Amino acid sequence: MTAPLDIVIMAAGKGTRMKSRHPKVLQKLAGRALLQHVLDTAAQLKARSAVVVTGHGAAEVEAAIAAANGAEGADIAMDLKFVRQEPQLGTGHAVQQAVPALKDDGLVVVLSGDVPLTTADTLQGLLDAAGSDKMALLTVTMPDPTGYGRIVRNEAGTVQRIVEQKDANDAERAITEIYSGIMAVPARHLTAWLSKLSNNNAQGEYYLTDIVAMAVADGVPVVGHRIADVLQVAGINSPLQLAELERAHQLRQSRQLMEQGVRMADPARFDLRDDVRGTKGSLSCGQDVEIDVNCVFTGHVTIGAGARIGANCHISNVSIAEDAVIHPFTHIDGEKVGVEVGAGALIGPFARLRPGAKLGREVHIGNFVEVKNSTLADGAKANHLAYLGDATVGERVNYGAGSITANYDGVNKHRTVIEADVHIGSNCVLVAPVTIGAGGTVGGGSTVTKSTEAGALTVGRGKQVSISNWNRPEKQPKV
């Protein structure tokens, strides 16, 4: 029988080298707080509880994490608690603060809030190695192990203890197998050993790693669970390390998509992030989807079979139907409401689709066209320099260059209805609320303030005056 799983996440450290006003564990990787990555991984393990040890910026960390995980749609099913560590006297001291929140019957996994890329599979491997009665340490071998705790094994290869860099002698410093900072240990043992820690070492800290020698002394087996992927144990201390791990994470995501058949022009130039509102980054693609370089996807995005995304697009919270083409430099953000792009639609280059844009099949939205909270039925076109806000546009409507809906009277928004087969000329202002009747035509340069009948031609502009044989003034000679 396996023991219930409880997670302790150490997140009290300051993160001085980030040089940020915000605590390190709230720095974002792929739009998500580092600590949230760790919690998400813990949640995949079906842990019973997670205890987060906070210290520096505790109030900010607790508020941000509680808000993210209490929110609707959050997928953290485990019991989440915070305990404070003041002052911060070392990793052993940090885990000591969590002891009152831990049950005796559990297996405890200790994680760090600044190590975001450990996979659930790796942690499951560690749990399997620990079973119900052993201690398991996640380790890796590094060509340059400087700074890390070293795994000291005896001649038989059995783990004896961990020695920290600053306490190690030359022979110990030559060891290349390091402790990742991640361990699994039965709660009842952990509690007993933590109470015996001392800070009699080079840093004057209570080292969690000292419990390894205690386990050996008490005859509790210690297993070193070694993995090859160094990225999974990489911690973040500086903006550069954050950016490097972000690239590694994005490459992982683009490789996964490519394994599903997505044609990425360059897997290294791809980004999928949570959006600014915290909607988890997710991209699902049908068959034969092509994505050119430097596209940023945020929030929830679906792309239908055969659709193509041009270079340098920013695409957020939208569903793009099959065979649509999004030309380069297009910005789409459905925010909470979403955007829909119909099958075979052509969007961009340089188009902007805002929340509530719903485009039917084969709709064309050209350069410098902005669409907000508007429905365009099948085959409607707005190809150049236009604005459609709060509009309902019928099938096959042609909306001319430079035309806009004047949807805002300074206080309220109003709707414009353009019925099927209408032709709106260039440079028109449709002052809402207004309806242009089906099949009607609006002459270029018109300002339309009254609704029009079906089939009518509407012209609302100053009449043209031409004076024949008119002479320009001539330049007067200087006196």
Tokens of 33: 């707080």
**CB nearer to Mg ion: pick between 140 and 385:** 140
Give residues 229-268 in contact with Mg ion (rule: CB under 5 A). Answer: 235
**Residue 93 binds: one of Mg ion, ligand UD1, none (C-beta under 5 to 8 A by kind):** ligand UD1
Distances (CA, A) of 177 to 130, 158, 222, 232, 353: 19, 13, 15, 15, 52
Task: Tell me how far, at minimum, the Cβ of 43 lies from ligand UD1, in Å.
Answer: 19
Alpha-carbon dihedral sign for residues 40, 42, 46, 47: negative
263-300 burial by CB neighbour count: b if 16+ within 10 A, else e?
ebeebebbbbbbbeebbbbebebbeebbbbebbbbbbb
Task: Tell me how far, at minimum, the Cβ of 38 lies from ligand UD1, in Å.
Answer: 9
Alpha-helix runs per DSSP H in 31-117: 34-44, 58-70, 91-98
Q: DSSP labels for 342-364?
A: -TT-EE-SS-EE-TT-EE-TT-E
- Residue 114 among known ligand-binding residues: yes
**Residue 440 binds: one of ligand UD1, Mg ion, none (C-beta under 5 to 8 A by kind):** none
Smallest CA-to-CA distance from 234 within 67, 118, 397 is with 118
**Residue 80 binds: one of Mg ion, ligand UD1, none (C-beta under 5 to 8 A by kind):** none
- Residue 466 among known ligand-binding residues: no
- Taking the C-alpha atoms of residue 268 and residue 261, their distance in angstroms, rounded to an integer, is 16
Task: Tell me how far, at minimum, the Cβ of 93 lies from Mg ion, in Å.
Answer: 15
What does residue 24 show for φ and ψ, rounded to 5 degrees?
A: -55, -45
User: Residue 200: is it exposed, middle or buried by C-beta count within 10 angstroms (0-12/13-18/19+)?
Assistant: exposed
**Residue 88 binds: one of Mg ion, ligand UD1, none (C-beta under 5 to 8 A by kind):** ligand UD1
**CB nearer to Mg ion: pick between 209 and 435:** 209
**CB nearer to ligand UD1: pick between 112 and 316:** 112
Size of the site for Mg ion (CB under 5 A): 1
- Residue 130 among known ligand-binding residues: no
Task: Tell me how far, at minimum, the Cβ of 181 lies from Mg ion, in Å.
Answer: 7
Task: Tell me how far, at minimum, the Cβ of 50 lies from ligand UD1, in Å.
Answer: 14
Tokens of 257: 């998509």
**Residue 382 binds: one of ligand UD1, Mg ion, none (C-beta under 5 to 8 A by kind):** none
**CB nearer to ligand UD1: pick between 138 and 371:** 138
**CB nearer to ligand UD1: pick between 90 and 344:** 90
What does residue 124 show for φ and ψ, rounded to 5 degrees?
A: -65, -40
Asked if residue 330 lies in contact with residue 291, where contact means CB atoms within 8 angstroms, the answer is no
**CB nearer to ligand UD1: pick between 193 and 207:** 207
Task: Tell me how far, at minimum, the Cβ of 131 lies from Mg ion, in Å.
Answer: 28
**One-letter-per-residue 3-state SS of 98-141:** HHHHCCCCCEEEEEECCCCCCCHHHHHHHHHHHCCCCEEEEEEE
Q: Which helix (H) or strand (E) holds 171?
A: helix 170-173
Asked if residue 414 lies in contact with residue 407, where contact means CB atoms within 8 angstroms, the answer is yes
- Residue 149 among known ligand-binding residues: yes
**Residue 38 binds: one of ligand UD1, Mg ion, none (C-beta under 5 to 8 A by kind):** none
Task: Tell me how far, at minimum, the Cβ of 209 lies from Mg ion, in Å.
Answer: 12
- Residue 461 among known ligand-binding residues: yes
> Is 327 noted as a catalytic residue in this protein?
no
**Residue 112 binds: one of ligand UD1, Mg ion, none (C-beta under 5 to 8 A by kind):** ligand UD1
Residues that bind ligand UD1 (CB under 6 A): 10-13, 53, 55, 85, 88-91, 93-94, 112-114, 148-149, 162, 164, 178-181, 207-209, 235
Smallest CA-to-CA distance from 266 within 225, 213, 228, 311 is with 311
**CB nearer to ligand UD1: pick between 47 and 197:** 197
What does residue 83 show for φ and ψ, rounded to 5 degrees?
A: -130, 150
Give residues 207-236 in contact with Mg ion (rule: CB under 5 A). Answer: 235
Q: Which of 314, 384, 414, 423 is catalytic?
A: 384
Site of tokens 């309806």: 435
- Residue 426 among known ligand-binding residues: yes
Closest residue to Mg ion: CB criterion:
235
- Residue 398 among known ligand-binding residues: yes
Binding site listing? 24, 85, 90-91, 112-114, 149, 164, 237, 354, 372, 387, 398, 401, 407-408, 426, 444, 461
The site for Mg ion (CB under 5 A) is made up of 235
Catalytic residues: 384
Binding site listing for Mg(2+)? 114, 237
